[in-house]
Structure 1
Amino acid sequence: MKLYEKTLASETKFEGRIIKVILDDVELENGKTAKREVICHNGGVCVAALTENDEVLLVRQFRYPYKEILLELPAGKLEKGEDPFEAMKREQMEETGTTGENYVSLGNLYPSPGYCGEIIRIWACRVSAKGEMHLDDDEFLEVERIPLQKAVEMVLNNEIPDSKTQVGILKTAALVKNGKL
């Protein structure tokens, strides 16, 4: 088995500010063809920022696709060509008014690999300084400090449905438990 699909043709169906939707014709490893719908996205970043008391900074905000208020790690989208590490530090400052130290990469998350090329890069850090939030004009959120162990319980009790936040909290808790953060 080759586990590979060869792109035969590609057509852009939609291009917006954040995503592009393409329709590809592909050749499968058995020689047959199929269609693939793909959402192209520049990717995103997020950070699990911990206070000196092992509280994780989370943001509560309305998420239009779900028509719900979600509790999430501070996060944002990458601009084309933007350095993910610098983007994450920018988002941390914008959304929480904090800067960090001792940043640790928690790896990459592929949120919906069946149809979307988005990659979310996740970090953890310790908060080193507090300042003012600098939200975008269309951004409205509230910052909450939640003890890390309570945040883990919230993930395990299905109170936090956002995947990047679940992964970031659980990996950060493992690092803290092992004395690595």
Structure 2
Amino acid sequence: MKKFMETTTQSETIYDGRIVKVQVDDVMLPDGKTSKRELIKHAGAVGIIPVTKANKIVFVEQFRKPLEKSLVEIPAGKLEKGEEPSVTALRELEEETGYTVNTPRFITSFYTSPGFADEMMYLYLAEDLEPVDYPAAGDEDEFIEILELTLDEAKQYVREQRIHDAKTNYAILYLETLERM
């Protein structure tokens, strides 16, 4: 791995926002040449695959400004500072769907866009969902609609590109591969 190592010689933060920090690094390449790297720093996020007792997957549909369209996705959210991913999973599940579960089961973690971002996504499975009488309020600038789909319906949404993001496609592949439904 060291033969591919790049050494940072200078780093400049050009934006430090609520969700991301953007920096530009000057790096020394393995062959001694130099280059620039534009990087997004992110606290990390959690996605949760909620499956009802009726074997339906709970999704949320929301508008995604970078894409200028709505997508159907599994519930997800950003890690808060110092928060364990399993706590984030439970919080996002309740806020976005009105459901809870005793213990979400960790599936895996992965980098979302390692070519320019350090965001780590933690993926959980929540089965035997229970509705929450008084769910926690979601983000005030978040407008979502809840959908409950069978695995076959979700796969059709993938074909139609209504489901078109990596974490949700991964979730569907996980459920299909393990023949969970």
Give the TM-score normalised by structure 2: 0.91
Q: Which residue of 2 aligns with 1:139?
A: 142
1:34 aligns with 2:35: yes
Distance change >3 Å, CA 70–CA 158, structure 1 → 2: closer
Residue in 2 aligned with 1:57? 58
Matched, 1:163 2:166: yes
Aligned mates of 1:11, 1:52 — CA distance in 2: 50
Q: Counterparts in 2 of 1:149-160, with a 5 A limit?
A: 149-160=152-163
Aligned AA (1:27): M
Q: Specify the SS of the correspondent of 1:127.
A: coil
Q: Extract unaligned runs of 5+ from structure 1.
A: none
Unaligned residue ranges in structure 2 (runs of 5+): none
Q: 1:142 to 1:127 in 2, by over 3 A?
A: farther
In structure 1, C-alpha distance between the alignment counterparts of 2:159 and 2:114, rounded to whole Å: 23
Q: Which residue matches 1:46?
A: 47
CA 174–125 in structure 1, closer or farther in 2 if over 3 Å, else same: farther
Please state if 1:174 is matched with 2:140. Answer: no
Give CA-to-partner distance per residue, 1:113-137, whole Å, 9 cap, x none: 1111111111112033102442221
Which residue number in structure 2 is paired with residue 69 of structure 1? 70
Kept after mapping to 2: 8 A contact 1:149/1:173? no
Q: 67-76 vs 166-175, which deviates more?
A: 166-175
What is the match of residue 22 of structure 2? Answer: 21
Q: Which stretch of the first structure deviates more once superposed, 138-147 or 153-162?
A: 153-162
> Does the 8 A contact of 2:50 with 2:129 survive in 1?
no
Distance 2:119 2:109 in 1: 10
Letter in 2 for 1:4: M
Amino acid of the structure 2 residue aligned with 1:139:
E
Q: Indicate if the aligned counterparts of 1:14 and 1:20 stay in contact, CA closer than 8 A.
A: yes
